Amino acid sequence: MSEENNEKKDFGFGTKPGGDPKNNDKKPKFNITWVYGLIAIFLFGMLFMQFGAEPVEITRSRFEQEMLRTHDVEKIEVVNNKRAEIFIKQDRLSETKFHDANKQKNGTVATAGPHYFFTIGSVEVFEKKLDEAMKEFSVEEEVPVSYVTRENHFETILNWLLFPLLLIGVWLFIFRRMAGPNGAGSQIFNIGKSKAKIFDKEGAEVKVDFKDVAGLEEAKVEIKEIVDFLKNPEKYTTLGGKIPKGALLVGPPGTGKTLLAKAVAGEAHVPFFSMSGSDFVEMFVGVGASRVRDLFKQAKEKAPCIIFIDEIDAIGRARGKNPNWGANDERENTLNQLLTEMDGFGTNSGVIILAATNRADILDRALLRAGRFDRQIHVELPDLNERKEIFKVHMRPLTKLGEEVSAEFLAKQTPGFSGADIANVANEAALIAARKNKNKVEKQDFLDAIDRIIGGLEKKNKIISPEEKKTIAYHEAGHATVSWVLEHANPLIKVTIVPRGQALGAAWYLPEERQLTTKDQMLDEMCAILGGRAAEELFFGRISTGALNDLEKVTKQAYAMVSFFGMSDRIGNRSFYDSSGQNEYSFNKPYSDDTAKAIDEEVKSIIDLAYEKAKALLLEYREQHNKIGDLLLEKEVIFAEDLERIIGPRPHGKTPFSEDNAATAPVKEIVPETPNTETTEPKNQTE
Ligand code: NHX
Ligand code: ZN
């Protein structure tokens, strides 16, 4: 599955150099240092203006001796109760003793002043001393003293401008450091712009076309149609048809939705805008909607073109029934904008919107309405033949392959695998072979890779006591024995007691690739799953926590049988499955308490019955079971051949639908696959 992520990365968020030049002007050329430079110059200017008006500082005694005593003072201004500024009479300024006051005025003599100042302690003391000095020098004439408050502009500006600027500077700096050169920090001035990546016909980035997409034949046919709409619109419009506006690519993760979209880009030879749904939703309110607007504006300018929105569920999830539940407002705005924009297009405007999701059922109904994403292209998990093709594609880069490696064999071993999983298998096989210092990749390496992808890493040095080891072996032997003798259980491939990932041991099955599962198949499967716990109880007289996963599976299966598939008489043919996905937030069960009780009882009785059956079978085959357990303890891994040797060939035909009995077998109850309520895909079943 990691492959899909990678794809997304160099598709949606790619930061590769080159490509469309229009794409590269996203970084702000507007440099913040310019702003700082201008502000600094401005501040220095202010400073010099202040200095220009600055009088000369003198001592009180000079003031008294050289100015007051000689009657040179015109007036005194006390500023802010802090300093006394002295204005010299204009006609006295030319005297040599006042040269220091003149010098700084570039020699111009007659200036308004103030010419001198000195600092005072307090107004009272200043007045007292002034009076004393006047008396002492017997200065009769009145020297006017005025009191003024004056603001210091420089300080004010410092406080009001520099400080916030400094804060912004620090903030920007941190922001950039956090986000890196291509991160959100550099996008700060482009917040409302769409981050869509454009792939033009000249765009070097898209090298994928339909030839590179293995499997997905049906999806390819449908998507080719869309490419054709863009290439030859007249062909369709002359007959009065309308070209669809949007198509939804729906399918489980790893099935190649993004790859398919990429191939459209490579094939269509029209501009291709790619964006991930999560790009719309960010931390700033209103950003999503404006990005949608911007994206569609760009697209309209470049029509005909394709817009691809990956992971549309990020914005397209159904809007809640009760509005103003908070948190979702931003997403809803974005969705509304998207709906508006899609309606805003005239038909045949030449813009087609593709979107990918793995959950079409949770999307808002409004998105799927006619005229919006009214076409759904289903991208399904590959079947046997498609897996074979995909294996061939991914085996191509492996330069040295063992002759016995066959894509067909590997395809058979990997039911339920997605394209991304298969890519992973091929890569992992090469790594495993290299680790073993082999000069080619052999079949066993592929098998090990498959095991690893299903079961996780082997944990060879996990400390397990001999007693525990025996419990594990007998538990697994229980699965093996029961599944071997049951008619409808899946065929077993191997049993292992080598710890892998979370599990201490496992029985591996090759699930049949079928569209429908019968009630008998479900019951037998449950019986086989319970075989482990049954063996523990029967042969050790005690049970362990190890059956957790088994019990979880059985319980879920039983509930599905009763409440979804109508497979119990007491509940009857009723299903409480909700495929609409619109009732996400409703906690009400759609049935009465009595029904709930009946469901619980039915589930218990189904499981109890299966458990009794498992125990009965184990007692019947106890010798064989114990042999299998002991062989497991000895060899750690055993295969179907070992089981056949110990128990004999499987007593029943393989499947109820196999060629030899398909015609005669009465079809009892035919039921769909368990609805995919879990997040993980069904792989080989292990217990
Ligand atoms: C554990 N896992 O987590 C160990 C590693 C019956 C021999 N303690 O059915 O591996 O026991 O057929 C808390 C408590 C998982 C968390 C108990 C998580 C139990 C798999 C179950 C083999 N094969 N079971 C199986 C298995 C386990 C489990 C738990 C937990 C076992 C069994 C897990
Ligand atoms: Zn088990």
Q: What ranges do the domains of the chain cover?
A: 1-27, 50-150, 197-378, 384-455, 466-582+590-664
Q: Which residues are marked as active site?
A: 476
Q: Kindly state if the Cβ of 534 falls inside 6 Å of ligand 1.
A: no
Q: Kindly state if the Cβ of 503 falls inside 6 Å of ligand 1.
A: yes
Q: Kindly state if the Cβ of 85 falls inside 6 Å of ligand 1.
A: no
pLDDT at 124 over 60: yes
User: Average pLDDT over the chain, rounded to whole?
Assistant: 79
Q: What is the pLDDT of residue 204?
A: 43
Please compute the mean of the pLDDT values over residues 667-680 and round it to a whole number.
Answer: 34
CB 262 within 8 A of CB 298: no
Number of H helices, E strands in the chain: 26, 16
Best residue for ligand 1 mutational test, from 474, 500, 502, 684 (most atoms within 8 Å of Cβ): 502
Lowest mean pLDDT among 43-52, 85-94, 214-223, 665-674: 665-674
Q: Which residue has the tokens 């010098």?
A: 103
- Cα of 78 vs centre of ligand 2, distance in Å, is 95
Q: CATH 1.20.58.760: does it fit domain 466-582+590-664?
A: yes
Cβ neighbours, 10 Å, residue 445 = 25
- Cα of 480 vs centre of ligand 2, distance in Å, is 10
Lowest mean pLDDT among 281-295, 407-421, 635-649: 281-295
CB 557 within 8 A of CB 674: yes
Q: How confident is the model at residue 540 (pLDDT cuts 50, 70, 90)?
A: very high
Q: How confident is the model at residue 510 (pLDDT cuts 50, 70, 90)?
A: confident
Q: Kindly state if the Cβ of 549 falls inside 6 Å of ligand 1.
A: yes
Q: Which residue has the tokens 């240092």?
A: 33
Q: What is the pLDDT of residue 7?
A: 37
Lowest mean pLDDT among 26-35, 342-351, 510-519: 26-35
Please compute the mean of the pLDDT values over residues 376-399 and round it to a whole number.
Answer: 88
Q: Kindly state if the Cβ of 500 falls inside 6 Å of ligand 1.
A: no
- DSSP strand E in 19-125: where? 56-57, 73-79, 83-88, 116-119
pLDDT at 208 over 70: yes
Q: Kindly state if the Cβ of 547 falls inside 6 Å of ligand 1.
A: yes
Q: What is the pLDDT of residue 656?
A: 33
**Between 281 and 402, where is the model more confident?**
402
Q: Could you identify the atom of ligand 1 that is nearest to the CA of residue 503?
A: 10
- Would you call 248 exposed, middle or buried from its count of C-beta atoms within 10 A (0-12, 13-18, 19+)? buried
Please compute the mean of the pLDDT values over residues 34-60 and round it to a whole number.
Answer: 72
Q: What is the pLDDT of residue 664?
A: 30
Q: Please give the share of the chain, as a percent, with pLDDT higher than 70.
A: 78
Q: How confident is the model at residue 680 (pLDDT cuts 50, 70, 90)?
A: very low
Please compute the mean of the pLDDT values over residues 370-386 and round it to a whole number.
Answer: 85
Q: Please give the share of the chain, as a percent, with pLDDT higher than 90.
A: 26
Q: Could you identify the atom of ligand 1 that is nearest to the CA of residue 497?
A: 7
Please compute the mean of the pLDDT values over residues 637-646 and round it to a whole number.
Answer: 92
**Between 198 and 577, where is the model more confident?**
577
Lowest mean pLDDT among 14-23, 307-316, 593-602, 611-620: 14-23
Which ligand number lies closest to the CA of residue 544?
A: 1
The one-letter code for the residue type at 31 is: N
> Of all protein residues, whose CA lies closest to atom 9 belonging to ligand 1?
687
Which ligand number lies closest to the CA of residue 632?
A: 1
pLDDT at 549 over 70: yes
Q: Which fold has domain 384-455?
A: Helicase, Ruva Protein; domain 3 (1.10.8)
Report how far apart, in Å, the C-alpha atoms of 100 and of each of 86, 559, 670, 682 are.
Answer: 14, 101, 110, 95
The Cα 310–Cα 353 span in angstroms is 11
Q: How confident is the model at residue 236 (pLDDT cuts 50, 70, 90)?
A: confident
pLDDT at 22 over 60: no
Q: Kindly state if the Cβ of 504 falls inside 6 Å of ligand 1.
A: yes
Q: How confident is the model at residue 686 (pLDDT cuts 50, 70, 90)?
A: low
Helix or strand run (H / E) with residue 274: strand 272-276
How is residue 213 written in tokens? Answer: 């997409």
The Cα 406–Cα 391 span in angstroms is 9
pLDDT at 654 over 70: no
Lowest mean pLDDT among 53-57, 59-63, 156-160, 319-323: 319-323
Q: Which residue has the tokens 């319980």?
A: 555
Q: What is the pLDDT of residue 559?
A: 96
Helix or strand run (H / E) with residue 147: strand 145-148
Strand partners, 88: 73
pTM over 0.75? The answer is: no
- Cα of 541 vs centre of ligand 2, distance in Å, is 17
- Cα of 504 vs centre of ligand 2, distance in Å, is 9
The Cα 55–Cα 100 span in angstroms is 9
> Of all protein residues, whose CA lies closest to atom 17 belonging to ligand 1?
545
Please compute the mean of the pLDDT values over residues 588-612 and round it to a whole number.
Answer: 94
**Between 301 and 612, where is the model more confident?**
612
**Between 176 and 507, where is the model more confident?**
507
For residue 529, what is the DSSP state?
H
pLDDT at 397 over 80: yes
Q: Which of 29, 380, 382, 355 is nearest to 186 (CA)?
A: 29
The structural architecture, per CATH, of the domain 197-378 is 3-Layer(aba) Sandwich (3.40)
Q: What is the pLDDT of residue 517?
A: 94
Q: Kindly state if the Cβ of 238 falls inside 6 Å of ligand 1.
A: no
Q: What is the pLDDT of residue 70?
A: 86
Q: What is the pLDDT of residue 402?
A: 83
50-150: CATH number: 3.40.1690.20
